[in-house]
A and B are shown apart, each in its own frame.
Chain A
């Protein structure tokens, strides 16, 4: 990989990370403020926004799946941790490799599955609220699984690079 390409790639990754984090923060702010606004409307003005609940649930879906993308980046998914019990270095490396290969494979299939799902939903043409079609809200599935696939593949790449000297030795 040429160093220029690698630099641009690193920069793009940093930019995306920043975008992802701020999207989560803004969505959470929107979630809290909108939920409070609805309480005020309901209790003090005996009215409400008809599509409010659907909107809130989808905001949570977006925060959740973007959060899951961050969990992949920070290696904070819920998992069984037996590493303390395994002292052999090569066995630990091997299991680490299996872990990322499996994760990458599953995320790739989930990305493919969500792509098909999105296509089906797009052709159904239903609207969620206002003039927003459902499939716009569902783009979070392919988006998040694509990001998780790329992140797990980059982990795999890093694992293979650290494994190479071990195997060589």
Chain B
């Protein structure tokens, strides 16, 4: 019976049924088998309404969508091109920085590739970067910045693991920077190689234009101050997370609608609907997984996994290695939000027993899931980039391989150097 149910659910998931329906279906079937009233599914879902982070999730997503509709991406690209465009690998660094900034604010919902990819790909190709390098870079860029506040996956992890979001925001900063720096170094190396082949003898460099820098800086000043508003508001203790989210919405509204006048009042209903659809899809998965997790806990599944792990894995290092392999697999088949809500509650008791800090665990989780975003068979970045750049997914996957290697190296450092995550909190 159990295997029949598992087969049905797997088939439903593979057929493309919404993942919330697969998770809710699993809970319903489990409750029916255990002869528990099926209304418990809704009782568990309703627990969403007692989580204050749900307000922050909705508001930050709203601010992100507003930003995506504006010309913010163009202004950020202009500024970083003015500052870095002439350096070796400069344009690739521009892509990395602007994507990280943009994804932190819009969440890993594919917006980054859609908003920035079209802008950056022709520029990279024109600057004589190879197509393969450019596509790999932009595909990887799609989920870069997830570790920076106020990214939605960070908030979702905080909601599920019940850790303080403000601490989680701090925990992600150094690991996120490390990832960014390693990718930049690779880009610089590529840039130097490109420059040697482009102009082996004569001087190619043109001086930086101060006028362009100051013009670009003036244009992007409102977007540049946004992280200060978010981070400053939260860490000064002046605002709670959901309040900082409301202020962010107001700030982005004033910047993009009143000052830049790029987002018109008549565009707002469409932006609100887009936000509601995306957050609605996440909320439903969160709700369904609350029911499913209560079933797992009732069946003592986390305890059983814990018992199994404790008899077979002795050290914390062993646990972390197995965790990473497992999460990379999960990241390949599940989207980030489903993976977080299903797997985090199972892993937390085990992580606790091995003495892994829950903030450190969160950053390991998100790094793994970020890598999963660019790996087949269901890496969302690959699909979105495939659609956006009109390239076969297999080609994009091969193009992303060097970047994936760098992300894996970062993952290893993040995993085995916990102080990188925790030092800002002490």
Contact = CB atoms under 8 A, between A and B. Distances in A.
Contacts of A113: 28, 38-42
Chain B at the A interface: mostly helix, strand, loop or mixed? helix
* B interface bracket (residues with beta carbon within 8 Å of A): 35 or more
Interface stretch (A2-10, A98-106, A160-168): A98-106
B65 to A, nearest CB: 11
Contact of B17 (A28, A39, A99, A109): A99
Interface in B219-263: 238-239, 242-243, 245-247, 249-250
Given A61-B49, A113-B39, A141-B46, A32 B15 contact: no
Contacts of A105: 25
Contact of A58 (B49, B285, B337): B49
* A interface bracket (residues with beta carbon within 8 Å of B): 35 or more
Contacts of B282: 64, 78
A117 B281 contact: no
A69 interface: yes
A154 interface: no
A141 B42 CA distance: 8
A56 B59 CA distance: 11
B378 A138 contact: no
Contacts of B393: 84
A138 B42 CA distance: 10
A19 interface: no
Given A28-B276, A56-B242, A71 B281 contact: yes
Contacts of A35: 55, 59, 242-243, 245-246
A78 B383 contact: no
Contacts of B24: 106, 110
Interface in B5-25: 11-22, 24-25
A60 B280 contact: no
A155 B62 CA distance: 29
Interface in A30-74: 31-32, 35-36, 38-39, 42-43, 53-54, 56-58, 60-61, 63-72, 74
Contacts of A21: 269, 273
B281 A32 contact: no
A11 interface: no
Given A56-B55, A76-B281, A77-B281, A117 B39 contact: yes
B337 to A, nearest CB: 7
Interface in A101-146: 102-103, 105-107, 109-110, 112-114, 116-117, 120, 137-138, 141
Given A39-B247, A70-B276, A103-B17, A80 B378 contact: yes
Interface string B54-77: 110111001000000000000000
Q: Which of A67, A84, A109 has the most CB of B within 10 A?
A: A67
B400 interface: no
Contacts of B45: 141
A31 B272 CA distance: 11
Contact of B280 (A38, A58, A66, A84): A66
Nearest to B233: A39
B192 interface: no
B25 A102 contact: yes
B37 A116 contact: yes
Contacts of A31: 55, 58-59
A64 B276 contact: yes
A68 B280 contact: yes
B280 A64 contact: yes
Contacts of A116: 37-39, 42
B289 to A, nearest CB: 12
A62 to B, nearest CB: 10
Contacts of B242: 35, 56
A63 B272 CA distance: 10
A78 B338 contact: yes
Given A63-B279, A103-B17, A106-B21, A78 B243 contact: no
Contact of B272 (A24, A80, A102): A24
Contacts of B59: 31-32, 35
Contacts of A96: 15-16
A82 B25 CA distance: 20
B211 to A, nearest CB: 38
Nearest to B42: A117
26 contacts: A24-B272, A28-B62, A31-B58, A31-B59, A32-B250, A35-B55, A36-B246, A39-B239, A39-B247, A60-B55, A60-B57, A61-B283, A63-B58, A64-B282, A67-B278, A76-B277, A80-B13, A80-B378, A98-B15, A103-B21, A110-B42, A112-B38, A113-B42, A116-B38, A117-B39, A117-B43
Interface of B: 11-22, 24-25, 28, 37-43, 45-46, 48-52, 54-55, 57-59, 62, 238-239, 242-243, 245-247, 249-250, 268-269, 272-273, 275-285, 333-335, 337-338, 377-378, 383, 393
Interface of A: 21-22, 24-25, 28-29, 31-32, 35-36, 38-39, 42-43, 53-54, 56-58, 60-61, 63-72, 74, 76-85, 95-96, 98-99, 102-103, 105-107, 109-110, 112-114, 116-117, 120, 137-138, 141
